[in-house]
């Protein structure tokens, strides 16, 4: 049984509101102090998760994120400031958290988590928190946690809705029981394409942090075997039961998750924004297709034909096969997926992805173009 004597005066003062909590007290705080938690993704979800876990006193926080801070992050990633642009998220997050609670140990990892390094990065963790926004990484983290027998706290957000769950708790249901197979590549927009209400990431991130503390201390039963669905517009909270599919018996090792999710990158034909400008200036006979959403098109566009990504399957007959077709989106990711999908499923051989998307155009060709 832990007591006040096991904590320094600074710790006792800092965590005093935990000490007086019924069914919590110094014993629970000692468990928090001894815990090692890995947070994968220091973005919209990761920022509130990290802030509250650091404030709560989690002894060691490993922060895995290879990305850098951009202006569009600041709408929801509240650890960062305008002066942090282009700096590495993991490093800046660790710096801010040290200022919040200098009594803890922080380990920023400025690299992607992959099937090659996942087991070594996660093996010493008591809990893994998924704050990412893509299916390959979710399956990777789930499988690694199953193999290592570590609870996996899942969170996701899209537009006005979010999800929270605890998978692999005491070898219970895992993410593959909830999502046995990934959706078709490109069929589910990410936050960049579909948008997200900034405050929602704070709500979901706080719920994830709450689950982490429940797992560590046992003060309440974790959200295992269920997925919590949150609607920020109606403030409805619903629970969805996760069926037991015994999927863990098939998880023997880590695999190629990009290939599993159908987004394995292969060589594709591309044009640069300079090459596209030359085509436009010469009035060449080619087709320019914009696969963004209408609200994105209204912000800025290249006067191409708007066929949103979700409408492509029903609009294949609108895409020329007898001349060059350049397809673009905001950054080149969605359009690249569509090029590969059309080549694979409809035999197109005349498609070109615009490298860097409309962002590259705004940066290198027309700097007056508004970006988002």
Q: Quote the tokens at residue 44.
A: 């919209």
Q: Quote the tokens at residue 194.
A: 């579909």
- State the Cα–Cα distance between residues 264 and 320, nearest whole angstrom: 25
CA 173 to chain centre: 21
Whole-number Cα distances in Å, 138 to 56, 88, 96, 156, 214: 26, 22, 26, 10, 22
Instruction: Identify whether 191 is a catalytic site residue.
Output: yes
CA 360 to chain centre: 23
- Cα dihedral sign for 48, 54, 57, 60? positive
Strand, coil or helix: 66 = coil
Question: Which of 47, 145, 261, 329 is flagged as catalytic?
Answer: 329
Q: Quote the tokens at residue 126.
A: 């008591």
- Cα dihedral sign for 291, 295, 300, 301? positive
Q: Quote the tokens at residue 215.
A: 């797992």
Q: Quote the tokens at residue 242.
A: 């996760």
Question: Which of 131, 191, 206, 300 is flagged as catalytic?
Answer: 191
- State the Cα–Cα distance between residues 164 and 204, nearest whole angstrom: 7
Q: Which residue has the tokens 């994120």?
A: 65
Instruction: Identify whether 145 is a catalytic site residue.
Output: no
Q: Could you list the active site residues?
A: 191, 329
């Amino acid at each position: 049984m832990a007591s006040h004597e096991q904590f320094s005066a600074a710790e006792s003062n800092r965590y005093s509101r935990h000490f007086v909590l019924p069914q919590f007290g110094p014993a629970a705080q000692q468990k928090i102090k001894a815990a090692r938690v890995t947070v994968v993704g220091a973005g919209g979800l990761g920022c509130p998760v990290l802030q509250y876990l650091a404030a709560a006193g989690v002894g060691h926080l490993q922060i895995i994120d290879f990305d850098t801070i951009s202006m569009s992050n600041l709408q929801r990633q509240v650890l960062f400031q305008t002066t942090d642009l282009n700096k590495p998220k993991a490093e800046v997050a660790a710096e801010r958290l040290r200022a919040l609670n200098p009594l803890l140990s922080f380990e920023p990892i400025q690299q992607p988590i992959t099937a090659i390094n996942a087991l070594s990065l996660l093996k010493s963790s008591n809990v893994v928190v998924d704050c990412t926004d893509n299916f390959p990484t979710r399956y990777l983290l789930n499988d690694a946690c199953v193999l290592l027998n570590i609870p996996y706290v899942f969170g996701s957000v899209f537009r006005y809705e979010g999800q929270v769950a605890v998978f692999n708790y005491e070898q219970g249901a895992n993410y593959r029981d909830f999502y046995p197979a990934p959706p078709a590549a490109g069929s589910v927009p990410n936050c960049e394409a579909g948008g997200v209400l900034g405050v929602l990431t704070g709500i979901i991130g706080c719920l994830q942090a709450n689950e982490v503390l429940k797992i560590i201390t046992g003060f309440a039963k974790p959200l295992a075997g269920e997925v919590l669905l949150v609607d920020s517009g109606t403030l409805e909270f619903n629970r969805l039961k996760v069926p037991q599919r015994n999927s863990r018996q098939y998880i023997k090792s880590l695999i190629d998750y990009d290939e599993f999710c159908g987004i394995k990158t292969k060589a594709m034909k591309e044009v640069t924004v300079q090459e596209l400008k030359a085509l436009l200036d010469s009035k060449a006979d080619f087709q320019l297709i914009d696969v963004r959403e209408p609200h994105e098109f209204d912000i800025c566009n290249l006067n191409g034909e708007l066929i949103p990504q979700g409408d492509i399957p029903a609009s294949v007959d609108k895409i020329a096969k007898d001349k060059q077709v350049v397809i673009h989106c905001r950054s080149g990711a969605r359009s690249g997926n569509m090029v590969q999908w059309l080549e694979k499923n409809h035999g197109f051989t005349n498609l070109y992805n615009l490298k860097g998307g409309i962002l590259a155009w705004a940066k290198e060709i027309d700097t007056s173009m508004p970006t988002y």
